[in-house]
């Protein structure tokens, strides 16, 4: 089955057995526990809802299928997914090589949580894969990347990074939140673990906080699965229902996010008040060729530098009517964010400046509204500068 057919049907095959109702949509199994007739045999394999829940399993099956992976695991947030991956696959004394541009919360997890467990991180510019080899130490165990990165839209070559990592038995984790499996499939390119903030495009409507992990390797699955239950950061059955519902329209939404983003990126590129636009779909993006090679689309996220000082940035943001000034991304509504003050404020100023997260950097999550309305909203606000 192709992507959109799987998005709609996998995990929700109707149950036609005697006494079943043949639901087309998986029920929301609210029961926290599952009764059994035999003390040794859990009914249908279910014991307790943190350990396993039919609605959650349906979501896990669907997201795994869409990532072309064998196993899916759901979590109560993207950060819960990331923490569980780190605590399952690393131990005290280990070293991570991470892309130097990552979601601020991921850097906070690395710098302020994992460091307390003696897990070390080096931030490396992995736009050039040979920088990976140079950063490997005897205790390096993991490579952690986002591509494109949040918020600078930098790419790294997943196949090449995975090829190098394999030589040194390093686990490659790819945060695929920005692209979603519709536009990029890291496992097919050689990565070991895919993580998602499902709060974004996977759910797609800004109404659920959740995360997911997809893997192919049984040993890796076992470790993460153990801690999914042991740590217990699982999503509720209702959240799983929303995630399933979101995935069914992922392909349609992503096409429209991208269509709108391409138009907006091109509008911004030629605007005199915009210094530079960062969008992998633009030929001016330094890694446009890599984007075409490893992604099947360019997505709905755009960052750009305004030609403005702090007051100008404030004026621009407060003159928007449709774009909402808010953290997060990937919903049907367009959002705008000033990373240095919002999503990436937890990164020390010096480090932010070093990599290019300056105060005039703006990130937009292009929604699926009418693109003419979105462009005229931006145009109006730019006129205030």
Residues that bind ligand P1T (CB under 6 A): 77-79, 103, 105-106, 146, 150, 175, 177, 197, 199, 209, 211, 327-329, 343
- Closest contact distance (angstroms) between CB of 335 and ligand P1T is 8
CA 385 – CA 243 distance, rounded (Å): 40
Least Å distance between CB 131 and ligand P1T? 21
Contact 237, 55 (CB under 8 A): yes
From the list 94, 175, 359, 377, the catalytic residue is 175
**Residue 103 annotated to the active site:** yes
- What residues are paired with 98 via a beta bridge? 123, 144
Q: Decide whether 179 or 378 has the Cβ nearer to ligand P1T.
A: 179
Question: Whole-number minimum distance, CB 176 to ligand P1T, in Å?
Answer: 9
Catalytic one among 50, 256, 276, 341? 50
Cβ closest to ligand P1T, residue 89 vs residue 385: 89
- Strands 95-99 and 140-146, bridge-based pairing: parallel
How far apart (Å, rounded) are the C-alpha atoms in residues 246 and 240? Answer: 10
175 is catalytic: yes
Report the residue number, 263 or 342, with the smaller CB distance to ligand P1T: 342
Q: Which is nearer to ligand P1T, 140 or 177 (CB)?
A: 177
Residue 297 in tokens: 């689309």
> Exactly one of 107, 200, 253, 352 is catalytic; which is it?
200
Q: Which residue is nearest to ligand P1T (CB)?
A: 78
* Residue 256 CB contacts under 8 Å (≥ 6 apart), including other chains: 368
Least distance from ligand P1T to the Cβ atom of residue 137, Å? 25
- Smallest CA-to-CA distance from 7 within 182, 265, 234 is with 182
- Residue closer to ligand P1T (CB basis): 119 or 336: 336
In 3D space, the residue among 158, 94, 151, 148 whose CA is nearest the CA of residue 122 turns out to be: 94
Least Cβ distance, residue 211 to ligand P1T (angstroms): 5
Task: Spell out the alpha helix ranges (H) of the chain.
Answer: 3-9, 54-66, 78-89, 104-108, 130-135, 158-167, 180-183, 218-231, 237-247, 250-269, 288-294, 310-318, 349-355, 371-383
Residues belonging to the active site: 50, 103, 175, 200
């Amino acid at each position: 089955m192709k992507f959109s057919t799987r998005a709609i049907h996998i995990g929700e095959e109707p149950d036609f057995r005697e006494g079943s109702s043949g639901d087309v949509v998986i029920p929301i199994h609210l029961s926290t526990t599952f009764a059994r007739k035999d003390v040794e045999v859990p009914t249908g394999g279910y014991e307790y809802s943190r350990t396993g829940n039919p609605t959650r399993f349906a979501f896990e099956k669907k997201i795994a299928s869409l990532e072309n992976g064998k196993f899916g695991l759901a979590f109560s947030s993207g950060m819960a997914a990331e923490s569980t991956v780190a605590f399952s696959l690393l131990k005290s004394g280990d070293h991570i090589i991470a892309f130097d541009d990552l979601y601020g919360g991921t850097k906070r997890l690395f710098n302020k949580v994992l460091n307390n467990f003696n897990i070390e991180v080096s931030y490396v510019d992995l736009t050039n894969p040979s920088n990976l080899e140079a950063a490997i130490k005897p205790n390096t165990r993991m490579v952690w990347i986002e591509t494109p990165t949040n918020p600078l839209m930098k790419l790294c070559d997943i196949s090449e990074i995975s090829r190098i990592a394999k030589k040194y038995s390093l686990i490659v984790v790819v945060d695929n939140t920005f692209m979603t499996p519709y536009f990029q499939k890291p496992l097919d390119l050689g990565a070991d673990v895919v993580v998602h903030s499902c709060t974004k495009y996977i759910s797609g409507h800004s109404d659920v906080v959740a995360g997911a992990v997809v893997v192919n390797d049984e040993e890796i699955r076992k470790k993460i699965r153990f801690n999914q239950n042991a740590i217990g950061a699982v999503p509720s059955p209702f959240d799983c229902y929303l995630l399933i519902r979101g995935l069914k329209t992922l392909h349609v939404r992503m096409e429209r996010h991208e269509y709108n983003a391409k138009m907006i990126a091109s509008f911004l590129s030629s605007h005199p008040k915009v210094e530079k636009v960062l969008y992998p779909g633009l030929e001016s993006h330094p890694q446009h060729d890599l984007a075409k090679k490893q992604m099947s689309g360019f997505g709905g996220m755009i960052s750009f530098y305004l030609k403005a000082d702090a007051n100008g940035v404030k004026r621009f943001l407060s003159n928007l009517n449709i774009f909402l000034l808010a953290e997060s991304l990937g919903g049907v509504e367009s959002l705008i964010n000033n990373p240095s003050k919002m999503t990436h404020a937890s990164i020390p100023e010096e480090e932010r400046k070093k990599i290019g997260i300056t105060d005039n950097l703006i990130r937009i999550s292009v929604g699926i509204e009418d693109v003419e309305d979105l462009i005229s909203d931006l145009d109006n606000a730019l006129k205030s500068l």
